[in-house]
Amino acid sequence: MYKNYEVVKEAYIKALNGTGTLLKHSKTGARVFVIKNDDNNKVFNVVFRTPPKDDTGLPHILEHSVLCGSRKFPLKDPFVELAKGSMNTFLNAMTYPDKTMYPVASCNDKDFDNLMDVYLDAVFYPNIYKEPRILMQEGWHYELDSMDGDIIYNGVVYNEMKGASSSPEQVLFRQIQAVMFPEHPYGYDSGGDPYAIPSLTLDDFKAFHSDYYHPSNSFIYLYGDMDMEKKLAWLDEAYLGAFDKRDIDSTLVTMPAFGERQYEKKKYAVSSDTSLDKKTYLSYNVAFDQPDSHCAALGLEILEYLLLEAPGAPLKEALQDLGIAEDIFGSYDSGLNQPIFSIVAKNANPEDEAIFVETIEKTLAKVAEEGIDRRKIEAAINNFEFKTREADFGQYPKGIIYSIKALDTWLYDRDPFTVFEYDEAFDEIRKGVENGCFQGLIKAYLLDNSHCAVLQLVPDCQLLEAKEEEIKVKLAEYKASLSEEDKEALIATTKDLKLFQETPDSPEDVATIPMLSKEDISSKAKRVMYDVVEEDGVKYLSHLTFTNHIVYSKLLFDFSHVAFEELSKLSLMAKLLTKIDTERYSYSSLSDEINIHTGGISVRTNIYGVNNKPDECQARVEVKFKSFGNKVTEAVNLIEEIVSGSKFGDVKRIYDLISEMRSRQSMSLIGSGHQAAMNRAMSYHNLPAKYRDVMEGISFYRFIEGIDSQEKVAMLVDDLKDLAKRVFTRSELIVMINSDESMVETTKKTIKNFTMKLDGAVVEDSEESITFEVKNEGFKSSSKVQFNALTGDYVAEGYTYNGAMRVLQTIMSLDYMWTEVRVKGGAYGGFGGFRRSGVFYLGSYRDPNLIKTYEIYKQLPDYIRNIKLDDREMTKYIIGTISQLDTPMTPSMKGEKALNMYMSKITNNDYQNERDEILECTSKDLNALAVLVEKLIAQDNICVIGNEGVVEKEKAILGEVKPLFNV
């Protein structure tokens, strides 16, 4: 059946509704796994085992570099050309501690074939052997602009990893691996330590590709509705058949267990004005061989949730009761040959280590002896099983997630079929509960395990400055060692690299990238149909779609009557619900009931912008649930208990939750600083953004940062109660129901029984006038890089949203910003766009620059004025733009889109008009937007989150400079 392949195993995979076939390519030994089912979102993934040998980040830099031109596709960046003009539903590449993968997905057959061809040519025949500037651009290089200038390091991955190493949590988990696996591939940083990256040589770079990027070391995966026999024949003819088998040593040697527990101390950087008190991370870590059964592997995932994540989790509560840390969390990294189970106390002191370790061991021993409450175990298993069967991965195609899951065993030469034996695993776990299987897992993997290390990560406010000074000295010494001729050569090399980056690819090279035509895409926007009826003052929005008997529903409570200065408290109140006691349940048992009867209940605030109305928004507290149709009554009863019976009197519990919020949001502000900076800049002029800032953003963080004692919590209790009473009423209530037609009416009836119990009095909107202020803030942190945001209000300039803006968004992000901010500037990312609520934005991510990036922003109008695209280029950008609109949606996403349309006042005609304008867009339409963009940039709404020294140095362009964190 499969010519030139040996079938190793074939079996029906019930969980994926398809047939899996495991093969080996006869000539090269390439491992191939195909899963044939009816999923139209087809997936291809080629993976290589790439164990690192040092901290230079070689696997990561190579991941970037092979996508910078190849034998058949010699242009400088085929990856971004595909992003510009493909109908892909996923296009990326990822580096892990022991593997590098190149996955793509598309619903279009022709496009899918194109993506496979470009990616395979990239990995097997990259241009890295003949173009050294690829390593310089994507990895690192010396940069010198003039004889009297300073030499610096630059490069995309270099700056990306400077950003990654700015996150204490990323530093922590990187150091955990180093401590657990000394002188082992897992002990090295596959992503790259920015202080080690500049030691990577071109010879080592090319040798690593030669050693590992060969079919004999590959794992090739195909998934979805396609002719697998035809695809595999092409794969053999076009690529694999050209290679001979090689004996490649990439197998990961198992690290022997330690003879005794290890104790280590490492440092991380904090800003110079940060107090060092209670800023230490304590971590207790164990490693072990991959469990020999899917049941045990799944059981360990559930155990981590039971011990450290579930409300009332015994290990978390025991550590919280010590009062030594702001946050307790855990991690179980199952995607390694030797997984690591970690327990972390964040923001403690070094002297707390002994009690931290003692409490962990005592609690684990107690749980291993006495067991865990059966109802909690049942709740946890149900929670995991619901998510597994729902298989809702948001915008990630299912096939991508399944390919990653398969590698949990397949990469280590074990059977990939076993990871999809969900029924068997859950049945076995449920039976095992009777025999104390979770107690057995604790004993075998956590307690009776000498491969254990306790790591302290301690703050150092001089570390960043010392490291930066060390680099300056090293570079200065290097410059001093150069002759005049050497310096001139380096200046010439710097100019040559910039010229290389600035020089457009030839039309002939660009034309090698296969492309669809307009005829390959539909001119019709997918219509979203929903029905809205009002009954007893409540609006019910119904969206019908196949959900496999799952009901997705939201109750949207209006809070437009709440004063603006109360919104941070309101957001806090919403975040506490489901996590505090109610009249009938403790917070722990409430969590159990939710997990037993539903797929989850959550409460959050949400702000909907309004189409072309920057000074309007719809403000709601949303109570969201999902459940099987036969469990809707139980779900609604729990919602009634949460919104009507929650008790705010447990001050210690609320204080612990606020501490955890503070911890998690500080992680987000460092890891996703581009989003925080962008929303903050928008808040200077846009009402939805101003709401989001005080309810989710920097202002909200400032609010919870100030709640630093139980006494301050006690002062909030009455306000929280009052807000709950004022918000959870029937006034302006909207209910969204997204499900199969057979379940909509019964769900509505059940919810109506609850809503009729709510206060039905009409509440008037707040009459207060909300003002805006351009602050242009710079937030200083211990980050080594910047996040630079600029925003504007295009409605204020007399414009409304149109499809040409969407095409320009594609061009700005994937051409101008990509080239200027990422390729030439060295940032990890740059982007720009327009939102229907009237917002224009530009942003950079993990950017070594600040003032230089804002200069790039200011030059954007000239770029737009000079856009001249031939028919092929215009078609490419149109297709790439349409691709973003046509991303496949899960059943829950379809319901969310219907709700968003209703709340934001967007119609199907709006979407069709946008599509028509995109399809008809011309260069002149784009050129005409230059005047608008010039006006928007001149509005001068900017916000920076970045390195304290850089922000302070460039404060002349900023209105206010302040610390990101006050404590």
User: Rounded to an integer, what distance in angstroms lies between the CA atom of residue 733 and that of residue 829?
Assistant: 40
Whether 63 is catalytic: yes
**Which residues are CB-contacts of 836 (< 8 A; sequence separation ≥ 6)?**
609, 611, 612, 801, 904, 906
Whether the Cβ atoms of residue 442 and residue 368 lie closer than 8 Å to each other = yes
d(CA 55, CA 191): 8
d(CA 105, CA 36): 15
Catalytic entry in 6, 81, 131, 138: 138
Q: Are 806 and 857 in contact (CB under 8 A)?
A: no
Query: What are the Cα distances from residue 765, in Å, to 196, 465, 555?
Result: 58, 51, 19
Q: Which residues contact 666 (CB under 8 A, 6 or more apart)?
A: 701, 965
Rounded Cα–Cα distance for residues 96 and 34 (Å): 22
Q: Is 508 a catalytic residue?
A: no
Contact 657, 341 (CB under 8 A): no
**How many helices (H) does the chain have, and how many strands (E)?**
38, 27
Q: Distance between CA 583 and CA 641 in Å, rounded?
A: 7
**Choice among 63, 593, 696, 954 that is catalytic:** 63
Cα distance between residue 410 and residue 403, in whole Å: 10
Residues 946/949/954/960 CA torsion (nearest 10 deg): 70
Residues 290 and 409 sit within 8 Å (Cβ to Cβ): yes
Residue 574: partners with Cβ closer than 8 Å, 6 or more residues away: 603, 604, 605, 621
Q: Which residues contact 279 (CB under 8 A, 6 or more apart)?
A: 270, 347, 458, 459
**Cβ atoms 763, 727 nearer than 8 A:** no
In the chain, the largest separation of any two C-alpha atoms, in whole Å, equals 85
Q: 507 CB contacts (<8 Å, ≥6 apart)?
A: none
Contact 130, 159 (CB under 8 A): no
> What residues does 218 pair with on adjacent strands?
48
- CA-closest candidate to residue 689, choices 598, 755, 772: 772
Distance CA 827, CA 159 (A): 6
Buried b (16+ CB within 10 A) or exposed e, 234-250: bbbeebbbebeeeebeb
Nearest in space to 822 (alpha carbons), one of 855, 845, 790: 845
User: 3-state DSSP call for residue 595?
Assistant: helix
The Cα 234–Cα 4 span in angstroms is: 11
Cβ-based neighbour number of residue 638 at 10 Å: 24
* CA–CA gap between residue 284 and residue 92 (Å, rounded): 34
**284 phi and psi, to 5 degrees?**
-115, 120
Q: Around Cβ 504, how many Cβ atoms within 10 Å?
A: 10
Report, in angstroms and rounded to the nearest whole number, the Rg of the chain calculated over CA atoms. Answer: 28
CA 911 to chain centre: 27
- Amino acid in position 834: F
The residues with which 384 forms a beta bridge, in sequence order, are none
Output the CA torsion 161→165→167→171 (10° steps). Answer: 130
In angstroms, the CA 572 to CA 263 distance is: 38
Spatial contact of 356 and 363, defined as CB atoms under 8 Å apart: no
The set of catalytic residues is 63, 138
